[in-house]
Chains A and B, each alone.
Chain A
Amino acid sequence: MATRKITFLTDVSLITCIVQRGLGDVIVKAARDAGAQGATINFGRGTGVRERLGALGVTVEVDKEVVNIVVAAEQVDTVFNNIYLAGELDTPGMGFMYVTPLEKAATYIPQEVVKRLQQSQQ
């Protein structure tokens, strides 16, 4: 079987953000506002911080949304900061976020985009 040619994207990172259920769309909007293309959103359940927040813990939703966003390395800081501010992650119990470096990513890239990228790299 002949294998098809893959156009890889390198210098990419994965931003993972865990927030209370219902806030995933806020995170995605903030990421898109900063230039990210899209995101996956999964449901999850969290534990840990609620117990530490005492009476305030009851206001922290136990159901979570886990948002994964792939972004170019050069966009990571912008997207990360935008999400941080939009998700109010500086407020205790609001959520948590981290960046994982990726080796490569692949998707459908229209030929005209590939040509444009090749020309810009020459």
Chain B
Amino acid sequence: MAHLHIHTPDIAELGEAPKLITCVIPDEGNKDLELLRSLRSGGDIITATSYQSRWVGSLSGGLMGDGKQRKGRRAPQAKAVRVISVVVAGEFANDVFQSLYDQAEIDRPEGGIMYMGPLGIATLFTLPEGVTDEPG
């Protein structure tokens, strides 16, 4: 049986395995950009992006569901949300999670949800010197 050998370059000195934090917040103007700025200034993350999405369901009050069957009920109206996706080294993951939770004000009715899971491998996202901040 043939074995496939793939050369993996030394892509990261990330310490603990990287994590992916996903934060879903209501679409409230530029709040996602403010959070991205804050994450960038914190310096502990590898990369963060934000994108628009729509959410169907309740943005709070039992994220995990109640296990009850809802057959026949109409789905609630979809809401516009922003999804912030953050890759962070494992040793900083809990701190970044807590910080994002506080700043995004997840802990309020319809404040959104966030979750974190492990990544198998991640590349570093190193910018060249002299890149100016994007406006906006």
Contacts and interface: CB of A to CB of B under 8 A. Distances in A.
Interface of B: 19, 24, 51, 53-71, 73, 75, 78, 81, 83, 97-98, 101-102, 106-118
Interface residues of A, number: 37
B106 A107 contact: yes
User: Looking at A25, A32, A113, which has the most chain B CB atoms within 10 Å of its CB?
Assistant: A32
A29 B70 CA distance: 9
B74 to A, nearest CB: 9
A122 B70 CA distance: 29
Interface of A: 1, 3-4, 6, 9, 12, 14, 25, 28-29, 32-42, 70-72, 75, 100-110, 113
User: Looking at B71, B102, B107, B109, which has the most chain A CB atoms within 10 Å of its CB?
Assistant: B107
Contact of B55 (A33, A35, A39, A75): A39
25 contacts: A3-B102, A4-B102, A6-B98, A9-B63, A14-B115, A32-B56, A33-B70, A35-B67, A35-B69, A36-B57, A40-B54, A40-B81, A42-B53, A70-B113, A72-B67, A75-B67, A100-B117, A102-B116, A103-B19, A103-B118, A104-B115, A106-B106, A107-B114, A108-B60, A110-B61
B56 A34 contact: no
Interface of B is mostly: loop
A105 B116 CA distance: 6
Given A6-B107, A35-B65, A106-B101, A40 B115 contact: no
Nearest to A66: B53
B60 A107 contact: yes
Contacts of A4: 101-102, 107
Contacts of A33: 69-71
Contacts of A105: 63-64, 113-116
